Amino acid sequence: MTALARTWDQLTLPGKALLILIPLLAVLTTGLLVTILLFGQQILDILIDNLPIVRFVFAASVLLLLAPLIAFVIIYMEMKIIALMNLRIGPDRVGPWGSLLSTVHGLKVLMKEDFTPTRADPVVFTWAPVVVFSTMALSALVIPFAPGLFAQDFHLGVLYFFAIGGMTVVGLLMGGWASFNKYSLLGGIRSAAQIISYEIPLTLSVVGLVMLAGTMSLNTIVLQQSGSGWFTDWYAFRQPLGFLIFAIAATAEANRTPFDLTEADSEIVAGFATEYSGMRFGFFFFAEYIGVFIVSALTVVLFLGGWTAPFPFPHISWEVNPGTLGIGLLLLVMIVPVLGTLLFALPFYLFRSQTRWWVALILGFVLFNVVVGGLFGLWAYINFDWVAGLFWFLAKTFGLVFLFVWMRGTLPRVRIDQLMGFAWKWLLPAALLNLFVTALAIMVIDQP
Amino acid sequence: MGLMSGLVPGLGLVKGMALTLRRFFAPKATVMYPEMPADVAVRFRGRLQLLYDEYGALKCETCFQCAQACPIECIDMGGMDTKGRFHVHWGPPETYGERREESALRRSGRTVPDQAYEHFAAFDLATVDAILDAHNHDPKHMLQILEGTQAAFGHLPVAALKRISERTGAWYAMIYGTASYYGHLRFEPPAAKAQAREVSARRPSDDRYLEALGASIAGRPGGDA
C-alpha cells in the first residue's frame, strides 16, 4: 500500500468529498472563465436571440428559490397567528419573536430520515413531491407581481394557471399510489376527488370575469382594474357572486380549513403523505403553503386589483441626485451612520439606567438601520412604480393569507359528504348562474 | 338572535370569526415561567409535600435542609426507623414520640437532656474558640475543626457544634452532616475502659457461644451440626 493510498484511507467522508470537489470546482471555474473570455460575445448574442427562454428559465429559478422563503413566512404566520387566537404566545424562542422557527423546522425536516416503504414504487414515490412542489411554484409564472414584474405576460394566463395548478392532483395521486399503503391510496383518491370537484366551480366562477374583461391575460386584467385609481374598479365589485364562489373554491383548492380533508391532520394520519418523511414530506408541506400564497395572489390579481393601490395617491416627486454632492457624498456616507447610531443610542443610555453602553449602542444601531431602511423604502416607493406595486400586491396577498389563517383558527372541518354536496349542489349552480347572468348583462348592455 | 341566525346565512361564521379576532388581540394566558417568576410572597417556600419517585419510594433523604431553611420553623421532620419503616411527619414536634428521642433532639440541634438527669457541666467555650481561631473560623476547614474538637473533648458535644455553627456561619445541619459522615467522629463519649471490660465479660466465651449456637440451629435447614 502506497503512502498516498494510506492517506486517502485516513480521510473522513467529508474530507474525501472535499478533496474531489475542490479541484473539480477549480477546473470548472477556470473553464467557465476561459469560455466567457473567448466566446462571451457569441454567448450573449445567443441569449439575446432567445430572450423569452432566458426570461422563463430565470423567472422559474427565482420563483423556485423564493418559494421556500414564502413558505417559511406563511408557516411562521400560521403558527404565530393561531397561537395568538388561542390566547397563547406561540413561537418566541428562535430569532426575533420566534420568526426563525419555521426555518429551523425546515432544517429539521432536512435532517430527518428519508424513508421509502418496502415495495413502494421508488421512481413515482420520489417524483410525487417534485411534481406537487413544482406545479405550485410554476403556476406563479403568469402572476403579475408589480408593473413590469412578471415572468410572462401570457395571453392565456388564467387558462395556464388552472391547467398547471390542476396538475397538483397528479402529484397527490402519485404520492398516494406509490406509497404501497392502502390508506395512502385512499387519501390520494380523496384529495383528487376534492380538488377536481372544486376545480369546476373555481374555473366557472372566473369565466364570467373573463367574459367581462375580454382577455385571459392576468396583466391586462389588472390594468383594467386600475382605471380611476379607486378600489371600486376592482372586479370583486362587478362580480360579487363570482368572487364569493372563487374564494370558497380556492380555499378548497388550497386544502385549507374548513376544506382541509386532504390532510386532516387531527383525523386521518396524513392522507396521501402518510408514508412520506424527511424532505419529501417537507416538499408536500411547502407546496401546501405556497399554494396558499399562489391562491391568494391569484385572488388579488383577478378580483382585488392586483398591484393597484386602493386609493389614488397624490403624486409626489422626490428627485435626489446623489452625484451632485461630490466629495460631500463620501463624507455623508462615512459620518451619518456613526452619528445616527450615537443619536439613537443616547436616549437608551440616558433614560434607562440599567442599559449598558454597548447594549445602547447595539440598540441605536438597530434603530438607525430600521429608520434608514424605512426612509429608503419610502424613497423607493415614491420613485419606482414597481416598488409601490409590489408593496400593494404583497400587502393584499398577505392580507388574504391572514384571512386563510384566521379561518383555520376559527372554522371546524366539514365532513366529506358535506364537502362534495356543497361543491355540486350549491357552488356549481351558483357559478353557472353567475355565468349566465353575466352573459345576459353583457348582451343587454351591448345590444344597442 | 336565534331568529336572526336562522334568517341570515353565514352569520354564525361571522360571529365565530369575530370571536377569534377578539381573542387575537386579547391578553395572553401563557405564563413565561423561567423568565418571569410568579409574584408570590417573599417568605413563600411552596407547598409542604413529600414526593415519591417512580418506584413509590419517598424521595426525601432526610437531609434536614428544608427544616433548616424554614423561615418560621414550621417544618419538623423525622426519617426512617431501624426497621426501614417510614415515620415521616411534619407538624409540632411535641406530638410525636420519636421527636423526643435523644438522636432526634441532637439532629435538630436542640438541647439533649442527660440520661441521668444531670445538669450540663459548664461548657468550656474557650477551647472551641481556640480551635476555631487556629482554623481562622473557616467553614471550609470543618473536618479539621471537628477533629480538633474531638481531640479536646473526646467526642463532639452538642454545645461545641452549636458554637462552631454560630462562629463559622455554617448551618448546624451541615456540620452535623459532616460529622456523621466520618466514622472516626462520634457524638457520645467513648465507654469507660472498665465498663467495656465488664460488657466483654458478660458476653459468652467463644466455646460456650458456638456450642449454644450449634444447639439452637441443629436439625434445621442450613445447620450442619
Rounded CA separation A297/B6 (Å)? 34
Residue B136 has pLDDT above 60, yes or no: yes
Average pLDDT over residues B131-155: 92
Q: Which amino acid is at A39?
A: F
Residue of A nearest to B30 (CA): A88
Query: Which residues share a beta bridge with A314?
Result: none
Report pLDDT digits (tens) over B112-133.
766 665 555 678 889 999 999 9
User: Which string of DSSP letters, residue by residue, matches A143-210?
Assistant: ---BTTB-S---TTHHHHHHHHHHTHHHHHHHHHHHT--HHHHHHHHHHHHHHHHHHHHHHHHHHHHH
Q: Please tell me which of the candidates A81, A89, A410 has its beta carbon nearest to residue B30.
A: A89
User: Which string of DSSP letters, residue by residue, matches B200-222?
Assistant: HHHSPPHHHHHHHHHHHHTTSTT
Report pLDDT digits (tens) over B101-115.
777 777 777 777 666
Q: Give B4 or A25, the one with higher predicted confidence.
A: A25
Which residues in chain A show pLDDT less than 70? Answer: 1, 266-268, 318-320, 322, 447-448
Instruction: List Cβ<8 Å contacts ≥24 apart for A390-399.
Output: A390/A145, A390/A146, A390/A149, A390/A307, A392/A307, A392/A308, A392/A309, A392/A310, A393/A145, A393/A146, A393/A297, A393/A300, A393/A306, A393/A307, A396/A300, A396/A304, A396/A305, A397/A293, A397/A296, A397/A297, A397/A300, A398/A77, A398/A296
So what's the pLDDT on residue B225?
Answer: 43
Contacts of B23 in chain A (CB under 8 A): 84-87
ipTM surpassing 0.95: no
Q: Which among B30, B126, B35, B110 has a CA at the least distance from the CA of B67?
A: B110
How many contiguous H segments (helices) and E segments (strands) does chain B have? 10, 0
Contacts of B20 in chain A (CB under 8 A): 85, 406, 409-410
Rounded CA separation A281/A245 (Å)? 31
Q: What are the cell numbers at A30? A: 477556470
Q: Please check whether residue A259 is in contact with residue A191, taking contact to mean a CB–CB distance below 8 angstroms.
A: no
Q: Is A244 exposed, middle or buried (0-12, 13-18, 19+ CB in 10 A)?
A: middle
Tell me how far apart the terminal alpha carbons of chain A are, to the nearest angstrom. 96
Inter-chain touch A85–B24, beta carbons under 8 Å: yes
Q: Which amino acid is at B74?
A: C
Inter-chain touch B28–A81, beta carbons under 8 Å: no
Distances, alpha carbon A444 to alpha carbons A212, A377, A432, A437, in Å: 13, 48, 18, 10
Instruction: Give the domain ranges of chain B.
Output: 49-100, 125-181, 196-225
Instruction: Name the minimum distance, in Å, from the CA of B129 to any CA of chain A.
Output: 45
Angle at CA A203, nearest 5°, toward A201 and A206?
Answer: 105
Rounded CA separation A348/B124 (Å)? 62
DSSP B58: B
Radius of gyration of chain B (CA): 31
Report pLDDT digits (tens) over B70-93.
766 667 666 665 666 656 555 555
Q: Which amino acid is at A389?
A: G
Query: Does residue B88 belong to the interface with chain A, where contact is any CB pair within 8 Å?
Result: no
Residue B224 has pLDDT above 70, yes or no: no
Rounded CA separation A102/B182 (Å)? 57
Q: Please check whether residue A129 is in contact with residue A175, taking contact to mean a CB–CB distance below 8 angstroms.
A: yes
Inter-chain touch B17–A85, beta carbons under 8 Å: no
Report pLDDT digits (tens) over A84-133.
999 999 999 888 889 999 999 989 988 898 888 888 888 999 999 999 98
Q: Which among A387, A417, A383, A373 has a CA at the least distance from the CA of A307?
A: A387
User: The whole model's pTM is what?
Assistant: 0.68
